[in-house]
Amino acid sequence: MSRFFVFPIFFQRSNCVFRSVLVLSALFVFSSLHVFAQEATIVGTVTDPSGAAVPNVNITVTNTETGQVNHFTSSGVGQYVAPGLTIGRYTVKAEGPNFKAAEQRDIVLGVGDRRRLDFRLEVGTTQQSVTVEATAAAVQSDSGEQSFLINGQQVTQLATNGRSVYTLEALTPGASSLQQDFQVPTSAGGDAAVSFNGLREGHNLWLIDGGEASDRGGAGGSDVMPSMDSLAEFRTMTSNYSAEYGLSSAGTLTTVVKSGTRQLHAGAWYFGRNDALDARNYFNPAPNPVAELRFHTFGFNVGGPLTLHPHSSNPKTFFFYNMEWRRLIQGQTLNQTVPLASSYPDANGPGTGAVLPTTDAKGKTISIVAPTGVAGWGANCPGGVSPVAPGSPFPGNVIPSCLIDPNATSLLAAGIFPKPTS
């Protein structure tokens, strides 16, 4: 199966431009980025009815979704390895002389899988065959890797508050999440707040289609937030994974984007939230206004075969395209300590000053003491003399009006502080 990028190139009648285009094309073709493996592997052993190894058996591995066929041969000890398989559903067939053909169907491979499929061939002719349908999930027995797979169906159907696919990583055994309840689908670093097996959050590694997507300067978060509807599946590897993933000391999260198949598929979606449909914040009782929330996520994807012949039964090239838009307007309800309305200057009448509490929340007596070292202390009081000496407590915790700056009084009257709600 071919995967490629299309670059629009415009030609002019110029040998110089033509040579430049050839050079750029060569750079695109022969340059490559280092990526980690995002495929799967099938291994197995072929034996006869007595348990003896059968060499030189033809192993045919077919992707039933794309029609891609790979051929392998068992070794002298009856073993075979089929590496580099893209994720998907497969049929594996073993054929050898003087034996009935054996076939195993509906083999589902996920990202990073190493699946064992052994064949026990029966004596007969190659025209005869034995077919086995896969019925149960396979147990990982060929490596000590500890990992957790979220398949495409789970990505689509499991609920997330905010449409962030990385919210699902908290389902991994051994994960400890500090993510917020409302995880907005933006690469803002909040997705990194997950620790695996007690290891540091900033040491997680993020891969998309084998390429690293880690924000090295952002405490280990992912610098790419793919659309949930664009993902085929993702796997979280937490322990004993192979050396090719050994770039980080904590969890490794490898994600695979969907691929086109032999059938043309398309879809569209919309996800929205609005404060008119949300419950009121506990600390923001009526009739106070509700913080504004407008969250819109919408997009589409399309994928299928790419062929010049409309009736081709065996396409070799496939495409998949995804586009998603995200719009977020989010207000906040802030909790802040503000003065009591009764403590405002002259709140109890002209000339009454600022009456402050005499006890704290626990009933302990408190005293308000006049500051020291203030230039012009008492200058606004009658006769220019303060009724309270600097360093002495105000009687009854009442600050006289003449000691309060008129600018402060004006600011409080203008509403610099919101009125207390409790």
pLDDT, residue 213, reads: 79
Q: Which of 27-36, 159-168, 346-355 has the lowest mean pLDDT?
A: 27-36
Is the pTM for the entire model greater than 0.85?
Answer: no
| Three-class secondary structure of residue 8 per DSSP | coil
Q: Give the tens place of pLDDT for each residue, 19-59.
A: 554 555 554 444 444 445 567 899 999 999 999 999 999 99
- Is 214's pLDDT higher than 60? yes
Q: How far is CA 46 from CA 49, 58, 126, in A?
A: 10, 10, 15
What is the average pLDDT value for the chain, to the nearest integer? 80
Asked if residue 67 lies in contact with residue 314, where contact means CB atoms within 8 angstroms, the answer is yes
Q: Give the bridge partners for 79, in sequence order.
A: 45
Six token digits for residue 146:
């500890």
pLDDT bin (cut points 50, 70, 90) of residue 266 is very high
The pLDDT value recorded for residue 3 is 42
pLDDT band at 10 (very low <50, low <70, confident <90, very high): very low
User: Could you state, in order of their start, the residue ranges of all structural domains in the chain?
Assistant: 40-133, 146-257, 336-422
Residue 218 has pLDDT above 80, yes or no: no
pLDDT at 185: 63
Helix, strand, coil shares of the chain, percent, nearest 5, are 15, 30, 50
List, in sequence order, every beta strand (DSSP E) within 311-357.
318-330, 354-355
Q: Is 26 exposed, middle or buried (0-12, 13-18, 19+ CB in 10 A)?
A: exposed
Fold of 40-133: Immunoglobulin-like (2.60.40)
Domain 146-257 CATH (choose: 2.40.340.10, 2.170.130.10, 3.50.50.60, 3.40.50.300) = 2.170.130.10
Bridge-based pairing of strands 40-47 and 79-85 is antiparallel
For 89-126, what is each residue's pLDDT tens digit?
Answer: 999 999 988 888 999 998 988 888 888 999 999 988 76
Answer for the pair 353, 400: CB distance below 8 angstroms, yes or no.
yes
pLDDT at position 385, please?
80
User: What is the percent of the chain where pLDDT is above 70?
Assistant: 81
Largest pairwise CA distance in the chain: 122
Beta bridge partner(s), residue 301: 267, 322
Instruction: Quote the pLDDT of residue 56.
Output: 92
In eight-state DSSP terms, residue 249 is S
